C-alpha cells in the first residue's frame, strides 16, 4: 500500500518542542508586530549583539514592515540566522494571525536555515503561541510518496523549540501536545485525499481503517462489504458502486463504544473516483475527482485526531465508500432504486451519486442513537459556484446547531457558511413522477441547496419512529474547500484536510 504515509509526526519533517530555556538553538524565529523598530526587550536574552543590530536595522529602516504573513531571512554569518515573520498591527492581531504566521515560517524554511530553530515571542498569550506552533505543524506537509527520493536530501528533520517562560511551560506543552494530535488527523485526511485513485479505492480505505484501529484499544472498525451491503438493502451505496470492479463498502468507526448515552455521528461521502458514471463527466480536470472521497477523509482524520488526543467520549463515524464508474452493469439515468430508508429514488443523473451513498449512511446513523449527525461531502459543483474555495456550505435542520458548527469553524479558522434548507427545495426533490424522491433538481439553479434538501429526506427520526422528531443534523459541502484553496496558508497544495480541526473543536471543546 504505497499511498499511505505511516502516522509519522507532523508531516514527518518537523519535531516541535516547548522549552523555557533561554538558549537560542539554531535559527531564531521572531514574530514581529508592524511598527516595531527593534528587537523586543523580552526576546533579547542570549542574542548576540551583531544579530540584534542587524534585526534592529531592518526594522528601523523599514526593510521589514512586519505585514501579516510576510517573512524575511537574515543570514548573520557566525552569529546565526534569523527568520522574521510579520503579525501585522498589534491591536488587530488575532489567534488566526499567529497560526498564519507559523504556517508562513514553515513555508519559508529551506535547507539553508539548518536543522534547529528557536521561536521567541514578545509577550504572546499561551493559546497564541500554541496557534503559531499549530500553523507551523499544519503547513509541514508534502505528499511525496510517489516521488523518487534522494535519500539524505529529503529526509532532513527540523527540530523547532518554542521558547516561553517557566510559568507558561506546562500549559503550553499541554496545548501543543493536543494540537500535535489534531495535526496528525489533518495530515491523515490529506494523505487519504492525495492518494491516487488507482491505489485508493473502497477496499483499501477499509483495510487502512482496520489497520489503524489496531493501534487503539478504544476504537472498533466494522466493514460492511459489498455482499453484506446488498443483503442489508443499501441500495444507494450499491447503485453507485456496482459498475466498478472495485466494489463499494461501508466502514464504521466506533470510539469508546461502551460509554453510555448519545454521541456525535459523523457520516462521510467516500467516492474514491467520480467519473460521473453513465452521465459521464467532461474530461477537463476529471483527475481532481480522486478527491471525491474528501468527506470520508474528514471522518477518518477526525477519528485520528480524537484518538491521538485521548478523547474519552463516544463518537461514531460512518464512511460510504464507492467508485462511480460507467460500465455495462452500471446504474442508468432513469433507474429507480430503494435504499435502507425504504424510500425510492429516481436516478436522473448518475453523476449526482454522493447523495445516493449518503442516503444509506444517514439512515444507518440512527442505529447509534446520535446526539447529532453531521455529514461531510464534496457534494456539488454548485457549492463551489456559490462560495468559491473560501468557505464550506453549511445546512442544518436546527438553527442553533448550525450556529454552533459555524462558530467552531470560526474558532479554528475554517469557514463554514450558513446556507438555506428551504421547503421549496425539498418539494423539488420529492416531486418525481414515479418515485418518492429524485436525485436531481428540476433545473440547474440552487444545486447545492437541492442536494441538501435531498439529503434531509434520509435523516431519520429518533429511533426511526414514524411520527417522531427528526434527529439534529447538519450537512457540510466541502466541494470547494477539500482541495484547491489557494488562500489556505495551512497547505501548499492538494488535499487540505478541512474540518478535522472544526469537528475536533466542536466535539472535544464544547
Is the CB of 354 or the CB of 370 nearer to ligand BES?
354
Given 270, 354, 361, 413, the residue binding ligand BES (CB under 6 A): 354
Query: How far apart are CB 297 and ligand BES at their closest, in Å?
Result: 14
Q: Which of 168, 191, 323, 351 contacts ligand BES by CB under 6 A?
A: 351
Q: What is the DSSP string of 77-93?
A: GGG-EEEEEE---GGG-
- For 145, phi and psi rounded to 5 degrees? -60, -30
CB 258 within 8 A of CB 342: no
| Size of interface with ligand BES, in residues (CB under 6 A) | 16
Which of 52, 69, 281, 404 is an active site residue?
281
Residues 6+ apart with CB under 8 A from 210: 221, 223
What 3-state class would DSSP assign to 439? coil
CA distance 191 to 5: 7
Q: Is 382 in the site for ligand BES (CB under 6 A)?
A: yes
Q: At what angle do helices 399-412 and 500-509 cross, to 10 degrees?
A: 110
Say whether residue 323 binds Zn ion (CB under 5 A). Answer: no
- Residue 40 binds ligand BES, judged by CB under 6 A: no
Residue 26 binds ligand BES (CB under 6 A):
no
For ligand BES, the binding residue among 40, 381, 418, 494 (CB under 6 A) is 381
Q: Which is nearer to ligand BES, 379 or 485 (CB)?
A: 379
* Candidate list 353, 360, 375, 414; residue touching ligand BES; CB under 6 A: 353
With contacts defined by CB under 5 A, name the span among 26-34, 285-293, 447-455, 471-479 that binds Zn ion: 285-293
Tell me the per-residue interface mask from 216 to 255 with Zn ion, x by CB under 5 A, - otherwise.
Answer: ----------------------------------------
Residue 23 is placed in which grid cell? 538558549
CB of 414 to Zn ion, least distance (A): 21
Question: Judged by CB under 6 A, which of 109, 130, 352, 507 binds ligand BES?
Answer: 352
**Active-site choice (184, 314, 355, 402):** 355
Q: How far is the CB of 322 from ligand BES (least distance, A)?
A: 11
Instruction: Give the nearest distance from C-beta 192 to ligand BES in angstroms.
Output: 16
The reply on whether position 274 binds ligand BES by CB under 6 A is: yes
- Residues 136, 141, 146, CA angle at the centre, nearest 5°? 170
Nearest to 455 by CA among 236, 193, 233: 236
User: Does residue 161 have an active-site annotation?
Assistant: no
Residue with cell 475536533: 504
Is 247 in the active site? no
Q: Which does 168 bind (CB under 5 to 8 A by kind): Zn ion, ligand BES, none?
A: none
Query: Which range touches Zn ion (CB under 5 A), out of 36-44, 157-165, 353-361, 453-461?
Result: 353-361
Residue 77, Cβ density class (10 Å: 0-12 exposed, 13-18 middle, ≥19 buried): exposed
Q: How far is CA 298 from CA 55, 404, 443, 473, in A?
A: 42, 18, 30, 17
Q: What is the H or E stretch that residue 406 is in?
A: helix 399-412
Any contact of residue 437 with ligand BES (CB under 6 A)? Answer: no
Residue ranges in 377-406 that form contacts with Zn ion under rule CB under 5 A? none
**17 and 106 in contact (C-beta within 8 Å)?**
no
Q: DSSP assignment of 43-68, as one string?
A: G-TT--HHHHHHHHHHHHTTS----T
Q: How far apart are CA 431 and CA 412, in angstroms?
A: 40
Q: Which helix (H) or strand (E) holds 227?
A: helix 226-232
Q: Contact with ligand BES (CB under 6 A): which of 256, 275, 359, 380?
A: 380
Contact between 441 and 349 (Cβ < 8 Å): no
The item of ligand BES, Zn ion, none sharing an interface with residue 481, based on CB under 5 to 8 Å by kind, is: none
The rounded Cα 297 to chain-centroid distance in angstroms is: 7
What is the grid cell recorded at 113? 536555515
Sign, Cα dihedral of 285, 288, 290, 292: negative
Near Zn ion by CB under 5 A: residue from 292, 304, 346, 428: 292
For the record, the C-alpha cell of 129 comes out as: 503561541
Binding segment for ligand BES among 171-179, 240-248, 377-385, 400-408 (CB under 6 A)? 377-385
Q: Which of 108, 142, 225, 349 binds ligand BES (CB under 6 A)?
A: 349
256 binds ligand BES (CB under 6 A): no
What's the closest the beta carbon of residue 386 comes to ligand BES, in angstroms?
11
**Angle 208-211-212 from CA coordinates, rounded to 5°:** 80
By annotation, the residues acting in catalysis are 281, 355
**Contact positions toward Zn ion, by CB under 5 A?**
271, 274, 292, 351, 353-354
**Contact positions toward ligand BES, by CB under 6 A?**
274, 292, 349, 351-354, 378-382, 384, 440, 447, 479
Amino acid at each position: 500500500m504505497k499511498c499511505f504515509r505511516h502516522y509519522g509526526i507532523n508531516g514527518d519533517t518537523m519535531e516541535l518542542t516547548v522549552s523555557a530555556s533561554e538558549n537560542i538553538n539554531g535559527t531564531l524565529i521572531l514574530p514581529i508586530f508592524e511598527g516595531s523598530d527593534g528587537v523586543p526587550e523580552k526576546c533579547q536574552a542570549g542574542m548576540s549583539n551583531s544579530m540584534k543590530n542587524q534585526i534592529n536595522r531592518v526594522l528601523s529602516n523599514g526593510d521589514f514592515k512586519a505585514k501579516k504573513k510576510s517573512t524575511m531571512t537574515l543570514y548573520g554569518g557566525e552569529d546565526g540566522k534569523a527568520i522574521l515573520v510579520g503579525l501585522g498591527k498589534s491591536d488587530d492581531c488575532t489567534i488566526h494571525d499567529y497560526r498564519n504566521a507559523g504556517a508562513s515560517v514553515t513555508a519559508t524554511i529551506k535547507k539553508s536555515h539548518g536543522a534547529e530553530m528557536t521561536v521567541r515571542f514578545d509577550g504572546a498569550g499561551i493559546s497564541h503561541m500554541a496557534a503559531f506552533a499549530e500553523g507551523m505543524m499544519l503547513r509541514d506537509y508534502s505528499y511525496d510518496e510517489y516521488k523518487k527520493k534522494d535519500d539524505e536530501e529529503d529526509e532532513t528533520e527540523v527540530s523547532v523549540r518554542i521558547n516561553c517562560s517557566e510559568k507558561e511551560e506546562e500549559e503550553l506543552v499541554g496545548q501543543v501536545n493536543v494540537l500535535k494530535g489534531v495535526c496528525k488527523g489533518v495530515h491523515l485526511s490529506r494523505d487519504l485525499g492525495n492518494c491516487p485513485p488507482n491505489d485508493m479505492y473502497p477496499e483499501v480505505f477499509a483495510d487502512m481503517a482496520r489497520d489503524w484501529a489496531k493501534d487503539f484499544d478504544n476504537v472498533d472498525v466494522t466493514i460492511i462489504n459489498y455482499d453484506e451491503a446488498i443483503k442489508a438493502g443499501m441500495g444507494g451505496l450499491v447503485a453507485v458502486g456496482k459498475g466498478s470492479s472495485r466494489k463499494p463498502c461501508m466502514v464504521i468507526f466506533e470510539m469508546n463504544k461502551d460509554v453510555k448515552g448519545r454521541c456525535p455521528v459523523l457520516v462521510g461521502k467516500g467516492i474514491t473516483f467520480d467519473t460521473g458514471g453513465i452521465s459521464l463527466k467532461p474530461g477537463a480536470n476529471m483527475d481532481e475527482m480522486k478527491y471525491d472521497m474528501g468527506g470520508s477523509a474528514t471522518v477518518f482524520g477526525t477519528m485520528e485526531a480524537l484518538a491521538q488526543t485521548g478523547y474519552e467520549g463516544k463518537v461514531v463515524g460512518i464512511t460510504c465508500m464507492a467508485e462511480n464508474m460507467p460500465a455495462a452493469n452500471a446504474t442508468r439515468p432513469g433507474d429507480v432504486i430503494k435504499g435502507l430508508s425504504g424510500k425510492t429514488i429516481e436516478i436522473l443523473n448518475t453523476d449526482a451519486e454522493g447523495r445516493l451513498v449518503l442516503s444509506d449512511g444517514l439512515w444507518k446513523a440512527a442505529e447509534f442513537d446520535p446526539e447529532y449527525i453531521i455529514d461531510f461531502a464534496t457534494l456539488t459543483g454548485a457549492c463551489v459556484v456559490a462560495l468559491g474555495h473560501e468557505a464550506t456550505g453549511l445546512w442544518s435542520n436546527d438553527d442553533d446547531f448550525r450556529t454552533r458548527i459555524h462558530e467552531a469553524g470560526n474558532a479554528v479558522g475554517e469557514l463554514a457558511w450558513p446556507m438555506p434548507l428551504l421547503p421549496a427545495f425539498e418539494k423539488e426533490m420529492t416531486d418525481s413522477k414515479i418515485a418518492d424522491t429524485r436525485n436531481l433538481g428540476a433545473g440547474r439553479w440552487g444545486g447545492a441547496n437541492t442536494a441538501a434538501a435531498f439529503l434531509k429526506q434520509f435523516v431519520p427520526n429518533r429511533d426511526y419512529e414514524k411520527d417522531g422528531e427528526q434527529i439534529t443534523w447538519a450537512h457540510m459541502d466541502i466541494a470547494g474547500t477539500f482541495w484547491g484553496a489557494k488562500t489556505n496558508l495551512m497547505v501548499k497544495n492538494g488535499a487540505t484536510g478541512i474540518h478535522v480541526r472544526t469537528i475536533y473543536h466542536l466535539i472535544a471543546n464544547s
